[in-house]
Structure 1
Amino acid sequence: MPASSKPKKSTAGIALPHGKNATINDIARLAGVSKKTVSRIINHSPLVRQDTRERVEALMREVGYVPDPLARGLAFRRSFLIGMVYDNPTAQFIVNMQYGALDALRDSGFELVVHPCDSRSPGYIDGVRRFVQQQKLHGVMLVPRVSEDQALADMLDEIGCRYTRIAALPLGEKSKMVVTHDRDGAAEAADYLQTLGHRDIAMITGPGHYRSAVERTAGFTGALANRGIELPKSRIIEAGYTFESGVAAAEKLLSAKKRPTAIFCANDEMAAGVYRVALRAGIRIPQQLSVIGYDDSPLASRLWPPLTSVRRDTRDTGRIAAAMLIQPDEGNHGTRTVASVRPHLVVRDSCQPPED
């Protein structure tokens, strides 16, 4: 056979047709990897192991492969956007979650895009689907309460979009999860109040359709029950995780003929509402009323007296959730991956033993 008609060969032993430029499919076949892996290497994605990257790059140099700039641009837009989907009334929580995600994405080549939604609207799942498909997202962070919706997770599985769920307890069978263990944090608050000597205790909890509210209520009431203190239903007020709803709940509790000596609030915004009502009524904190919040947001240390609160590191939670989406997951598809962010009580000046 004349030399001019001989096929070109790579060191992998697989011939390329004479005169034919190598394609991304050729590179994938010669290297024994997927086309997606080659695309990630071309676009400098961090999702490829170093040894695989070096082997494929060496092969591309050997066969003289030059990526198509247009195709590379399309792949970039598809592969380097992380979405954050949320329905949460607490602005500071969302801001801290975004900061954490940006911490993880810094210098990675990925960018963050956000999608607020109303999870009680009948069309919200279709809205999230459009968001994912129009933005060609690499993956999605699901923030409470949307993270608790199995129908939303099922839709993302259906369209092949990876996701991380942030929730108070593990959910689903194959999700990437960041678990915040809200029940344990609320139980620690209950133990602290009981240790101070409080027995007439009330709780302002969050909306009943939020798993975090259910877990915090169960953790708080369960820990008190273990110590022989039963919370009557009249001492548990459901509110909306907002300052205004905390004010309304506190007005009910503090206008009662017999006031509680301590109130545990399922977030700091509602605890601030208790402060407002106590101030108006001339009730001194902590001398006449002990108050505990949840989240340990910046608000907790700005109130006077500074608020004792259960700290959950929201920024760290966002960082872990985003990092899980951009890490290589070859060999782990379809399995559950769970990380934990443990809450703990931060004691300040808003609690003391009840007056005799």
Structure 2
Amino acid sequence: MGRSNKKPEVDYAAAAKRWAESNSSGRKPTMQDVADLAGVSKKTISRIINNSPSVNEVTRRGIQELIREVGYRPDPQARGLASNRSFLVGLITDNPTPQYVVNIQHGILDVLRQTGYELVVHPCDRKSDSFLEDAKRFIEVQKLYGVILTPSVSEDERLAEVLRGLGCAYIRIASIALDMESRMIVTNDREGGKDAARHLAKLGHTRIACVTGRRSFRSSTERIAGFEEGLAEYGLSVPPMYMLGGDYTFESGLALGADLLDLDPPPTAVFAANDEMAAGILQALHVAGHTPPESLSVVGFDDFETATRVWPRLTTARTPARKIGRLAAERLFEFYDGDRETVAENETMPELVERDSTRRPSH
């Protein structure tokens, strides 16, 4: 019979017992001690501590139990001193949607909670003359372990150059790939726009309007381009008079919702490039005495809490922001590892969620 190449299963309880019996001095275990007891590399222990998804679940549970039994505690301060960096992770953001930023933070914290690292948030204004200098000062003063960038600062190549010059690890969250794979989480916003268009076309709408987001955000460009591509699959397009420029805010949606009602003929459906603007459009319809979706079907983008707190509840393309934050943090923690191996997943895909704000046109 041939010899099996299958690695023998580790008895983690027995390994913990061996440690207790051999450690009469009460010495605190190191990461190398845990790796030796588990029969794996320090890299694997690091992945488990950092909650990386690239470890077999059985192995993960066994080693987590071993870590608890032997009393191993990661020392983030020691790691920071070894690399001349603190145990702080920075989040640089200028996003106008508060819930997006909050959900990204929750995802990052899901990972940091297992590591001893803390999150420091740097809100900024990309249009400010001091934007780059302020970001550089933030990174240098805090001696950050690394930085996560949300749109639209993630789309600014000048900031990426500053970070590379400082030797600071960074992860960019963006709707398309803007950097090397190890530095990116790609959200594929164009696909969400396509799904929104297909949904409205299948319902039978032909007079369809668009409310775009901020011009400085690549996500707005991608979402609208995807929407137009999706309509083209059904031989449809958005006339120039039906293409309105928004600002990703509730207030801009409220103002533009009134403008939509003044168009002649008015559209039977509208796609807003985020839920905040879609909610503003719904409010404008209610104020004018209209009843959506009978008078106008509305589709948003993001599926944050706003989408289910308005009436009718929004049909929208879901952005899994918490997952995006989690993936960004996992990838950041692997950046300084010796073999530079990255997590298996570095992108997400929007998903259309159908609710009450869309229906077949009534006229």
Shorter-chain TM-score: which interval?
Answer: 0.7 to 0.9
Counterparts in 2 of 1:107 and 1:251: CA distance versus 1, 3 Å? same
The match for 2:43 is 49
> Matches of residues 297-316 of structure 1 in structure 2 within 5 Å?
297-316=304-323
Q: CA deviation at 1:50?
A: 5.3
The match for 1:110 is 117
Q: Is the 8 A contact 2:94 2:124 kept in 1?
A: yes
The match for 2:104 is 97
Counterparts in 2 of 1:325 and 1:73: CA distance versus 1, 3 Å? closer
The match for 1:150 is 157
Q: Is the 8 A contact 1:85 1:116 kept in 2?
A: yes
- Which amino acid in the other structure matches residue 284 of structure 1? T
Tell me whether 1:283 sits opposite 2:280 in the alignment.
no
The match for 1:75 is 81
Q: Is the 8 A contact 1:311 1:346 kept in 2?
A: yes
Counterparts of 1:80 and 1:324, CA distance in 2 = 16
Q: CA deviation at 1:73?
A: 9.5
The match for 1:203 is 210
Tell me whether 1:354 sits opposite 2:361 in the alignment.
yes
Q: Deviations over 1:174-198 (max 9, x none)?
A: 6511111000001000000000000
The match for 2:139 is 132
The match for 1:264 is 271
Counterparts of 1:243 and 1:121, CA distance in 2 = 23
The match for 1:215 is 222
3-state SS of paired residue (1:340): coil
Of 187-196 and 279-288, deviating more is: 279-288
TM-score w.r.t. structure 2 length? 0.77
Counterparts in 2 of 1:88 and 1:225: CA distance versus 1, 3 Å? same
Q: Is the 8 A contact 2:173 2:184 kept in 1?
A: yes
Counterparts in 2 of 1:160 and 1:290: CA distance versus 1, 3 Å? same
Q: CA deviation at 1:331?
A: 2.8
3-state SS of paired residue (2:346): strand
Q: CA deviation at 1:72?
A: 4.8
The match for 2:194 is 187
Counterparts of 2:101 and 2:45, CA distance in 1 = 38
3-state SS of paired residue (1:350): coil
Counterparts of 1:257 and 1:284, CA distance in 2 = 19
Q: Deviations over 1:245-274 (max 9, x none)?
A: 111121211122311000111111001110
Counterparts in 2 of 1:294 and 1:72: CA distance versus 1, 3 Å? closer
Of 73-82 and 179-188, deviating more is: 73-82
Q: How many residues align?
A: 297
Q: CA deviation at 1:172?
A: 2.1
Counterparts of 2:265 and 2:307, CA distance in 1 = 27
Counterparts in 2 of 1:264 and 1:178: CA distance versus 1, 3 Å? same
Counterparts in 2 of 1:122 and 1:51: CA distance versus 1, 3 Å? closer
Of 136-145 and 226-235, deviating more is: 226-235
Counterparts of 2:80 and 2:338, CA distance in 1 = 23
RMSD: 2.6
Q: Which runs of 5+ in 1 are unaligned?
A: 1-39, 53-68
Of 260-269 and 336-345, deviating more is: 336-345
Percent of residue pairs bearing the same amino acid type: 44
3-state SS of paired residue (1:320): helix
- Which amino acid in the other structure matches residue 94 of structure 1? V
Q: Which runs of 5+ in 2 are unaligned?
A: 1-29, 35-40, 47-74
Q: Is the 8 A contact 2:175 2:219 kept in 1?
A: yes
Which of residues 340, 343, 351 in structure 2 aligns to 1:332? 340
The match for 2:167 is 160
3-state SS of paired residue (2:312): coil
3-state SS of paired residue (1:263): strand
Tell me whether 1:172 sits opposite 2:166 in the alignment.
no
Tell me whether 1:254 sits opposite 2:261 in the alignment.
yes
Q: Is the 8 A contact 1:179 1:338 kept in 2?
A: no
Counterparts of 1:107 and 1:150, CA distance in 2 = 32
Q: Is the 8 A contact 2:111 2:330 kept in 1?
A: yes
Of 172-181 and 99-108, deviating more is: 172-181
- Which amino acid in the other structure matches residue 49 of structure 1? K
3-state SS of paired residue (1:49): helix
For the pair shown, which has the larger CA radius of gyration, 1 or 2?
Answer: 1
- The ranges of structure 1 where at least 4 consecutive aligned residues each deviate by more than 3 angstroms after the TM superposition are 71-74, 335-338
The match for 1:244 is 251
Of 181-190 and 232-241, deviating more is: 232-241
Counterparts in 2 of 1:157 and 1:197: CA distance versus 1, 3 Å? same
- Which amino acid in the other structure matches residue 261 of structure 2? L
Counterparts of 2:304 and 2:45, CA distance in 1 = 43
